[in-house]
Structure 1
Amino acid sequence: MSTFLFRRLSFAGRLDELRPRMYRLAFSWSKDAFLADDLVQEAMIRALQKQAQLRDDELLDRWAIRILANLWLDHVRSRPKEENIDDVMDSLCMEDNQSPDCLHCRDEMIECVRRAIMSLPEMQRIVVTLVDLEEFSYKETATILDLPVGTVMSRLSRGRQALRELLIERPQPEVRETASPGRHLRRVI
């Protein structure tokens, strides 16, 4: 087998190993399983077509995710602004050893976090998912998005602050005590 063919097969295999990670990212950005599949497929095709542009094989993951991020940003720029992003919910696997109440609480918390992340401005959401969920360093994220490290850090900081306000520091519902003989009821308004 020629060296070129072997290298191409090796590249395709390593790229295919990145598919689940790329799908998770695409889905976290788009919240649409079909769109995430399309984005990943297009990113993989472009990566295969532009394989010669990859200078360091050790940076394949960052390079492929940069292609994916560029495709996502192109998609966002090409569509009109959407108001409702909460319509899509993915199914979560249930563990046998947890009660339905625990599962419900966990699902509600996960959905609350998803909504908060989806409400972030586009570039803050992308930076938060790359750094906090995919655990890329600031420098790697800057390389993927072709941004200065300081810009990544400021967008991450603003994104985290917005999430903190949405999830932790948000005002709690007003609670009013209603007294009646022998009972103490709380009314949430």
Structure 2
Amino acid sequence: MPRRLLQRYLPHPETLRRQRSLRFLSHLIGNPSLWMLSRRSVANAFFVGLFCALLPIPFQMALAALGAWSLRANLPLSVGLVWITNPLTMPLIFYGNYRLGAWLLDLPALAAPEQLSTDWVAEQLLEALPALAVGSLTAAVLAGILGSLAIRLAWRWQVSRSWKRRARRRRYRLGDRA
């Protein structure tokens, strides 16, 4: 994974530490291990971020920050990945999680109403909750594991490619001297 590309888009810890709203967390935000960009920290960040993003709970970002702290993952990447489920994508993702849970529990999926209303959602929530919970946990674990694995493989491939490129350059330079 290109470290410079990630560093270009991630905020600097000093910038966040100076913000008034985050001052009470300055001792945690200032921890250098939460800002490191290594294969392990980025892969763990993908696991934490994707896992938290697919859970239908409030305060996903706080949970991702706590997960990053406990797994020594990259903090801004963990918290940023939670925004995969934003107000535009959330209904589709959670409906997919519900359908997955209904399939896993062998339950018939609820039919969508002609007109979506808060009353209908409140009435159907208790019936849909077990399927949504099982589907969300399953999707979260799978997405976290696959994301972490993909990052580890991509990082390893990038390092291997870089080593081969350096070896080719060395051979070329040594060939010119002979």
TM range (shorter): under 0.3
Structure with greater helix percent: 2
Q: Could you state the TM-score of these two structures normalised by the residue count of structure 1?
A: 0.25
Structure with greater strand percent: 1
Greater relative contact order (CA < 8 Å, ≥ 6 in sequence): 2
Q: Could you state the TM-score of these two structures normalised by the residue count of structure 2?
A: 0.27
